[in-house]
Every structure is written in structure tokens, then in C-alpha cells.
Structure 1
Amino acid sequence: MEGHLMCSRKRLKLCHKKPIFRQWSSKIKFLDLPEDVVGPILSKLPPKEIVRTSVLSNNWKHIWTVCPKLRFDGNTMCTEDVTGTQHYTQKFIDNVNGVLKQYSGKVVEELGVKFEFDATLSEHLDDWVNFALSSRTKSLALDLLPAKFGLRPDRYRFPLELFDGESIFRLQQLQLSFVSLESPSNFCGFPNLKKLDLHVLRVTREDIQDMLSNCFNLEWLSIVRCHLDYAELKVVRPLPRLLYLHVAYCDISGIEFNAMILQTFVYCGRWIPFHLGHALAVKDARLYYSGKATLEFALNALPNLLPSVQNLILHSSLPLKTCSRRQFQVSSAEVSTTEVFCAG
């Protein structure tokens, strides 16, 4: 069975000053479409459905391998098995390895793996990261967060040593969840990285600061539950392209960034001092505070920290004596929208 696209057109001719319509149909085979058209179409499907297209026709046996984006999710690929069992994990490993084998030598723009971390995955994860580098991947995502991550002291060690000069410059998006990160002595960051998403990362203050200080083209940064033992999260070098910064529930003592054109800043956690350099372009700020500091203290400090913010949402569970908009000492000409939520 071959799929085809039907298109009909009408031609207008003049005969004795009377219009005559002729209609014809032409068949355009799906396989005749160029790979740069077929790939984006197939990329809209999950990997399991993409592979299934191979049974529709002998001519379609390998058509699914032109898809440049691969996303492997244990919940969708192993729906018939019990989560957390050895059979469940092995089935996922076999499925991923089977697909990647078919993609050997092909360009894969995006590679994503979402699966609860298991120690038996470590060796295979190294192979999958190595595959991504050899396939010239620009976007890499590893979401290994277990359902009960608090009970797991072990993490997958992300193999930065596998990155060479070419792959370091090629990577543009990186998402790491529930991994351990240790920078090699010769690691110089990701110069062309535009988006970085770090979630429940085990990393030292020195390693994360060294990495961020060398991401010169970073535009979007999220750091969630990455504990630094109450040390300051400080990036020495400027981040001249950073537009979005999100820091949430990290054990840190302060934040210091030099982000000149930062437009959105989101923070969740206890009150800490933060300095964003000359970030006069900040338009939106969303702050969710909890802890021992008083709300009055936060409101008095914010005008100095965010002097040009236009839209501010402050949600606080801090203890307070009174709560009113008049306590917020920022000119209404500078702040177009101010929302204060108090739950103390």
C-alpha cells in the first residue's frame, strides 16, 4: 500500500468565447518528497509511531530514519510493562538501541531521553550521548528524574570528557535532570549554547560557575533544585545575550550575574540578595519568597535590585506586620504592573 497525495486543478480555456473547464488529477508519491520535507512531518510523531510506518510498505521500510528528531520516553514506549522492573528497563534499553542502530551515520538534530534513572542505564547512557555527538546533535536532553529521587543517592555522571572541540561548539540546547556534573580540567564550556536547563543537578559551585562563565551566547537559563551548600551562585564573565533567568529552590546564599539585556527574572525560595549587574532591560520579574526575612525588608530592598522593572509579581509567605501597596517604595511610573500576594 502506498500513500499518495491527491491534488486537483482546473484549467480555463476559451472556446467560441465560452469558458470550458477541464479537471485532471496528479499523484504525488510520499516517497518522492525530499527528505527535508519528510523528516519534519515524521518528527511530529512519537518514535514508536514513526517506526510503525515501516510496515505500511516495503518501500517505507527505512523511511522513518529520515526523521531528524528522536525523543525516547519510557512511559510511552513501555506502556504494557510495570514501571521500575528489570524487564521494563531492559525493554526500554533494547528499543532505544534498536532505533539508534538504524540511525547510524545519519544526522540527528535533537535527541531526548526521559526515563527513571537506574544504575543499569549508565553504560547505555554513555553510548547514547556518544551517539548524539557523532550524529552532530544540536539539542540534547536527559530527563532521568525518578519518582522518588530523594531516596536515590546515586546519579548518572554526565560524560563531559566525550565532548571534543567540534561537538562543544555545535551544541545549542542542553537539558540535564538528575545527573552529576564534574568538569574536566580542560573543559571550556559550551560557547554556542543558547538554552540550558538544569534540574536536580549534583554539581560543585566551582564547576557550575566555570561552565556558565563560558556560555557566552546563552539566552535562556533555568536552574532548579541544584544545591550549592549555601554558596553564592556567581558568574564572573558577562552573559551579553541572556534574556531569561530562572532560579528555584537552590541552597545558595546569593546570586550575581552580569546580564545586560536580561528581560525576565524568576526566583523561588528563601530571601537572598541578588545582583544582576546593569540589567536595566528587565521587564518582568516574578518572585516567590519564603523564609525568615520579613516582607517589609523584601519590599524595601527590591527597588535597588530591580530599578527598572515594569511588571512585578511578588508572592510571599514571609511573616509581615502589614501588607499594602503603599509599602512598596517604587514609583508607579517605573512599574506598570505590581501584584503583591501575602500569605503570612
Structure 2
Amino acid sequence: MVKRRCNCGLRKAGKRRRKVEDTSSTTDRLSHLPEPIIYHILSFLDTKSAVRTSKLSRSWSRVWKHVPVLDLRSSALRGLVRLEKFVCKVLSLRYDLNVRKVSYIDDVGYGFQRHESMMVRVIKYAFSHRVQHLVVDTGYDSNHDDTHRFSFLFGPIKNCDHLETLELGSVTLDSGFGYSGFRMLTTLNVRACMLDTDQGDDLDLFCNFPYLRNLILSDCFLPCTKSEGNLRVCGPELVNLELNAMDQFKIEIFTPKLTYLNVRQDLDSLGFSKLTLPSLDHADIGMLKVPGYDSDKFKAQMQQNLTSLFHGVHNARSLKLHGFSVEVIL
């Protein structure tokens, strides 16, 4: 008599697998994530994408209103009218909670005058909700008039003790910038900004930020009525300094605690009037080629400029030179 094999165990295993598969196909796993994790995930998205993502799950429908990051960009919607409506709805519907970071960036190029009221509204909202990191870029506009000025954008803001990081693009930094009340700033990034104050040819814009540790200056320029100016960078707590294409300036640096200096500059515009860097650990120097760089007269002048820079960084523990800088020296 032939005995039959019992496949009960296999049947039970198959049932268990089917149950697991059925359960995994119907369970809304996103809904079971802790809310802080959900907020953290959505904080990496721009605000329009965060609102859309909130529709993936019923329990997420209002999650975007809790997200502590607002990333508003002009490219998010087609047309300025739609953008204004979207921004107004976001600011009015979001829960009355503090924000960690707010960004308003004109990456389409509408021009500041076409959406100045909306930008000012976003800035006021950010400060009324104790923003810690603020990014404002008005977009490129060749007409830098009074409406671009820092005093116009931030004029009503006084005695701010919660802003730690500020990034500015295409804004005119006037004399109001140095007296803005942002005394707790630790990081400042200034890109493509006009430096226009009532200080004459000598600019000292950063002396009133006693806790500033990181400073990045890129592609800044003077008004068309000036060809050259002196820029003083000082800070008792400044640790990291980056200078990129600051072509119109003779730069003086006095920073007793600076440990890192990064310079990217055209050779013909390289100018440092005085460098006092007693704590410098690392200097990263990169020079860009310009027309006529191979002439003997030009090379002699560039060697003199580089020598002046090297005297200022002579006590650095490490020095990194990029290719063309070495070529000029040799």
C-alpha cells in the first residue's frame, strides 16, 4: 500500500504568504509613520511639491501645514498671478507655528518690481514666525533702484534674536544692512548683490554681527558711479571665509579666529590691502585666467599680487593652489 505525502505544512505556508501579500497590498504604511518623520521628509521638498505629496494619504491631507520649512519659488507655477494666489493661500492656511527655514527665490526672472509686495509679505511672515534660516533672492535685474534695497525689504524688522542664517541674492546692501538688528547671525551668504552705502569708498558692513562664524561673498559689485572700493571684513568669531569674484574691491581682512580661507578671483582684479589671520589653518587659492595673462608685464604684476596674498596667509598650516596660480608663480 502506497502512503500519500501530507502537504498540510506547504498549504499552511502558502496561505501565510498570501495573507502577508494581501496585507502588504492594502496597508497604508505611510499613515503609520511618526508625524515628526513625515514632517522631516516633506521639509526636503519645495512647498508646492509638499502640498501635492500630502494628498497621497488621507491622514496626510493637512500634514504640509505643520512642515517647518517653506520653499517658495517663482518656477513652481506658471504665471505671476497663479504664483501670488498660491503664496497667499499657503501663508493663510498654514498652521500658526514657528518656521525653521523660509526661502523665496525668483528663479524665473519676473523682476523685483512685479512681485515686491508678495516678497515683503513672505519676509514679514517669516520673522513673525521666528524664522532661523532665511533665503531671499529677488532674481537678476539690471535696474537696481530703491525697491531692491535691504532697507526696503527688511526695514520694519528690528531686534531679531532668532535669525541664525541669512542668504541674500540680487539685493542692494545699503547702510541699513549693518544696523539691521540681526545680531545673532552665525552664517551669511551674499551673492550678486550691490554694495552701496553712505560710507564712501570704505565699506565695513559686517562689524555689527558679533557672532558671525561663516561668511560667503560671491559676485558682488559697486554702483556704476564707482569703479573700485575698499571692503573691510572683520569679525571676532569669524571662522570660515569664502571670496568669489569680488573683482571691484580691495579687501582688508582682520579676523583673529579665522581658520579657513577660500579665494576664487580673476588675477587682474586680485587685491588685498591688509590680512591679519593669526589662527589660519587652511587656505585654498584659485586664480582665473584673463586676456593678456601671458605677457611679461602682466605676469610681473600678478606675481606681485599673489606675493602680497601669500604674505597674509604665511602662517597657514596647509595651502592649496590651483593650476593657474602655480603657473603664474613659475
TM-score, structure 1 normalization: 0.71
Alignment map for 1:1-344 (pairs within 5 Å): 30-31=30-31, 33-75=33-75, 77-78=76-77, 81=78, 88-115=79-106, 116=109, 117-146=111-140, 149-150=141-142, 152-154=143-145, 156-158=148-150, 159-165=153-159, 168-184=160-176, 187=179, 189-205=181-197, 209=203, 211-228=205-222, 229=226, 230-235=228-233, 238-269=235-266, 270-288=269-287, 294-309=301-316, 310-314=318-322, 316=324, 340-342=326-328
CA deviation map 1:284-304 (0-9, x unaligned): 221325585623323433331
Count the aligned residue pairs: 285
Q: Which residue of 2 aligns with 1:322?
A: none
Q: Secondary structure at the match of 2:326?
A: strand
Change (3 A) 1:180 1:186: closer
Q: Displacement of 1:266 after TM fit?
A: 1.4
Q: Secondary structure at the match of 1:222?
A: strand
CA deviation map 1:200-244 (0-9, x unaligned): 222325679554111122222112232243221114x53323223
Q: Which residue of 2 aligns with 1:84?
A: none
CA deviation map 1:232-261 (0-9, x unaligned): 1114x5332322332423411332332423
- In structure 1, list runs of 5 or more residues that go unmatched: 1-22, 82-87, 317-338
**Alpha-carbon distance in structure 1 between the residues aligned to 2:322 and 2:174:** 35
Change (3 A) 1:206 1:221: farther
RMSD: 3.2
Question: Which has the larger displacement, 307-316 or 29-38?
Answer: 29-38
**Alpha-carbon distance in structure 1 between the residues aligned to 2:92 and 2:155:** 23
Structure (1/2) with the larger helix percentage: 2
Q: Displacement of 1:69 after TM fit?
A: 1.0
- Amino acid corresponding to residue 277 of structure 1 in structure 2: T
User: Is the CA contact (8 Å cut-off) linking 1:107 and 1:135 kept in structure 2?
Assistant: yes
Structure (1/2) with the larger strand percentage: 1
Q: Which residue of 2 aligns with 1:324?
A: none
- Amino acid corresponding to residue 296 of structure 1 in structure 2: Q
Change (3 A) 1:170 1:209: farther
Change (3 A) 1:103 1:257: farther
Instruction: Among all aligned residue pairs of Structure 1 and Structure 2, give the percentage whose two residues are the same amino acid.
Output: 20
**Alpha-carbon distance in structure 2 between the residues aligned to 1:260 and 1:205:** 27
